[in-house]
Amino acid sequence: MGTFYLTEPYCFVRKESERLKVYKGKNCLKEIRVKDYARFFINEDSTLSTGALSLLAEKGIDVVYFSGSEVVGRFIGKENKNVRLRIAQVEVHLDEEKSLAIARNFVLAKIKNTRTIVQRFARRKKLDLSKTDLALKQLMKKCIQVKDIDSLRGMEGRAARVYFETFPQFIESSGFVFTGRSRRPAKDEVNALLNYGYALLRAELTGALSAAGLDPYIGFLHRERYGRESLSLDLMEEFRCVLVDNLITRIVNKKIIKPSDFIRDQGGFRLKDHARKRFLLEFDQRRIDKVKHEFLGRQMSYREILHKQAILLAKYIKGEMEDYYPFLIK
């Protein structure tokens, strides 16, 4: 099942039988079969009727409200009621050795996947990225040796800096400038795309973790902070460059998104509404692309892989697997 995106502002969604209808004024823009979707991403300026929310809750479908590239609210459908799994998750979170083991796998997977992406670009664009590749390789070795979470987070941060120092070489389209990673506000167009892509990925993983019975707010690499989905951020690490960064370099280099598709607002850049719709279409297409899951040994969509990784993590926490096996690309 997919994700429904309502990016059109000032819409009203109401229930009619087992379907939802999207209205703008008196005009019906779309009729939706609820059973086709696992979650709804909706512009904060749009409204759902009580009947629509009740139907979504009954079907176990989450509603995520976005303001620009930021998640501003979430309506959760039927939650997984696996209390024993939640207790086990807290116990692992409080166990420094077990937390470190899981967090190490997240970081190693992130760096391994980043190295693979760098190597691909080096071959495809005939770039000499050997220094970047070597630096990432050395950081992987150091990650294996660290004895605490803080040191591991330091290695992850260094790997991200090494990678993003190389990232401008992946951008071919004229008019786009990337001078380093910035979050809020996004200081350039590329960062605006990264921020939006990561927000979408985070929301997807929050839904996947909740469906697997895990608490998205109790992490291992990212420790607890009020209102932050720490476990979603943990699981994001192995997917950032694979799903989001790769997508952004493609749509920028193919001029699917152009510098004119952005506006500067409150000191930062953000996508115009029409360009956001285009980005969502590309993101959704990327999620249904299929790739081989090496551990599970079969082809599946990235959307399915996100859910499988949440399930694998839950199985490890319950003691049903000897280790957590992250998603790795080849």
- Sign of the CA dihedral 180, 183, 184, 190? positive
Residue corresponding to tokens 């985070």:
202
Does 93 appear as a known binding residue?
no
- C-alpha Rg value of the chain to the nearest Å: 20
Does 274 appear as a known binding residue?
no
Q: Please, are residues 42 and 71 in contact by the beta-carbon 8 Å criterion? A: no
- Three-state secondary structure along the chain? CEEEEECCCCCEEEEECCEEEEEECCEEEEEEEHHHEEEEEEECCCEECHHHHHHHHHCCCEEEEEECCEEEEEECCCCCCCHHHHHHHHHHHHCHHHHHHHHHHHHHHHHHHHHHHHHHHHHHHCCCCHHHHHHHHHHHHHHHHCCCHHHHHHHHHHHHHHHHHHHHHHCCCCCCCCCCCCCCCCCCHHHHHHHHHHHHHHHHHHHHHHHCCCCCCCCCCCCCCCCCCHHHHHHHCCCHHHHHHHHHHHHHHCCCCCHHHEEEECCEEEECHHHHHHHHHHHHHHHHCEEEECCCCEEEEHHHHHHHHHHHHHHHHCCCCCCCCCCCCC
Q: Please, are residues 13 and 52 in contact by the beta-carbon 8 Å criterion? A: yes
Does 58 appear as a known binding residue?
no
Rounded Cα–Cα distance for residues 252 and 261 (Å) = 11
Binding-site residues for Mn(2+), please?
A: 156, 222, 237
Binding-site residues, please?
A: 156, 222, 237
